[in-house]
Amino acid sequence: MLAGWTFGTITRTACGAVLNSLPLVPYGGVVAKDEQTEAALLGRMIEYAKEADVDIVSVATHPLHDEATVSRYRQHLQTDFVFENFVQLQSLEIHPLAAMKSRSRSAFNRKLRVAAEQLTVRQADSQKDVEQWLDIYANRFEEIAAKTYPASFFHALFERSQVADFGELWLAERMGKQVGGVWMLLGDRCADYFASAFDSQCNELQPGTLVMNEVFSSLIERKIPVLNWQSSPGRGGVYEFKRRWGATERQHCYLSTLLNPHTKILEVDANQLLDEFPLRFVVPFEQLKSH
């Protein structure tokens, strides 16, 4: 009988090796039926990392973890470094529009009417849809000077989701032409707003607002109780967009265990660390000797 599971990957570079629990996807750790199994799996993760000559183990806790769970993770992993970050969570007991005050709801409804006059929303149903979204994604992230996930990751996510039903790409279209969309990752207790990109020339049409309105309705219908908006680059426009929907802030942690205190990883600067271990959390930048 399966009592729990965990997995991760090891990245080896010239400056050292890191074991990440769930790289690319923001959160890791274990799935366990009880605390004893949780402790055994986290302990085995450290043992395996030592056997594999890993320098650092990195695990990110989920925002739905309570303080007691995070404390146990820190204990079992023998954590050396902790980096706290915020996310925004959205309750889906009822549709966010229904939970708003009348003035806010009226403002959203006006935006939705404007969007619905020119845009339609649907789920992606082919790799061609994914490829068109990737073009928008690449252009948008070039505009904001941000790093993209590999295109192969999204193609694989779409392909496997056709079988396992754990991911969806929701699209906005104008006169049959895609203007962007949002990737959702699905679980029983929580859905994650994983990645989004829209054509910046269509911002005035509010495609993101229209898409999320449909996403909320779909998640509520499937009785998924929480949406994790994930984090934002600061508390500016993106953060405010989520807050206006009713999202509330919550903390989660990146936990790093240093197995080799002499690792060259700690000797590089932040830019090199990002290049050596792309899309993976290793240690807080302030722990680097060149910081």
Domains in the chain, CATH or no CATH each: 4-84+253-287 (3.40.630), 93-224 (3.40.630.30)
Average pLDDT, the chain: 93
Instruction: Give the pLDDT of residue 248.
Output: 95
Angle between helices 127-143 and 151-164 (to 10 degrees): 140
Burial class (CB in 10 A: 0-12, 13-18, 19+), 87: buried
Please count the CA atoms within 13 angstroms of the CA of 143 that sit on its side-chain side.
11
pLDDT at residue 3 is higher than 90: no
CA distance linking residue 77 with residue 75, whole number of Å = 6
- Round to the nearest angstrom and report the end-to-end CA distance of the chain: 48
β-pairing verdict for 167-174 and 31-32: unpaired
Report pTM: 0.88
Q: What tens digit of pLDDT does each residue of 229-283 get? A: 998 888 888 999 999 999 999 999 999 999 999 999 999 999 999 999 988 999 9
Res. 284 pLDDT band, cuts 50 70 90: very high
Res. 25 pLDDT band, cuts 50 70 90: low
What percentage of residues in the chain have a pLDDT greater than 90?
82
H-run or E-run covering 76:
helix 67-77
- Residue 134 one-letter amino acid: L
